[in-house]
Amino acid sequence: MKKLIVALFSVVALFMLMGTGTFAAENDQSDILQKIEETNVKIEEEIQTAQVKGNKLLSTLSLETTKLDATLATARQDGKSDAEIAKIEKEVKTKKAELTSKYNQELDKLIGNLIDKTNKMTADMIAEAAKEGIQAECSWVYVQIGDRWVWVDPIKVIGP
């Protein structure tokens, strides 16, 4: 009888020890899953910030080119000579090219910074998740920044 009681307590103790480890592993995984979600939220914030800045750049470009077009239209309405209109057209075309070039440079920089930052965030988090036994990968999304569409990489959990 004593052997049965000792065996029973041994089995109960064994299950308690095994169960505690299981709960600890689940808690560790929930922590890393929470970190992945937080990283995805940060990536989304970075995307939204870039979209706001890109839209502002595009609006500025649009406003400035509209002003230039208005200058040309006003010159035509005022009855300027063909030579004067040709000169204004040339100036407008040159200024539009400069504005577009500046816009493209600033947008390239904005998009490059976004992609570099989000790629690093994703790579770091995927590596951290792998150390904890969680498989994760990039889950590319197509987003618009200014007048361009780009791929950005939030994280997707694919398995334990």
If phi over 0 gives left and psi between -120 and 50 gives alpha, with beta otherwise, what is residue 79?
left
When computed from its CA atoms, the radius of gyration of the chain, rounded to whole angstroms, is 30
* Residue 8 binned pLDDT confidence (cut-offs 50, 70, 90): very low
Q: State the Cα–Cα distance between residues 112 and 64, nearest whole angstrom.
A: 25
Look at residue 27 in the predicted model and tell me its pLDDT: 53
Tens of pLDDT, residue by residue over 46-84, are 999 999 999 999 999 999 999 999 999 999 899 889 999
Phi–psi pair at 132, nearest 5 degrees: -95, 5
Q: Model confidence over 107-156: pLDDT tens digits? A: 999 999 999 999 999 999 999 999 988 999 988 999 999 999 999 988 88
Say what the pLDDT of residue 3 is.
46
Question: How far from 39 is each of 44, 55, 128, CA to CA, in Å?
Answer: 9, 24, 12
- Please name every residue paired with 122 in a beta bridge, in sequence order, or none if there are none: none
pLDDT at 6: 39
pLDDT above 90: residue 105: yes
Q: Which residue has the higher pLDDT, 9 or 89?
A: 89
What is the reported pLDDT for 56? 98
Mean pLDDT of 22-46: 81
What confidence tier does 2 reach under pLDDT thresholds 50, 70, 90?
very low
How many folded domains does the chain comprise? 1
Q: Does the pLDDT of residue 95 top 60, yes or no?
A: yes
- The two tokens of residue 19 are 């169960």
Residue 119 burial (10 A CB sphere; 0-12, 13-18, 19+): middle
Q: How confident is the model at residue 30 (pLDDT cuts 50, 70, 90)?
A: confident
User: Domain range spanning residue 9?
Assistant: 2-159
What tokens appear for 90 in the block? Answer: 């040339």
- Report helix, strand or coil for 146: coil
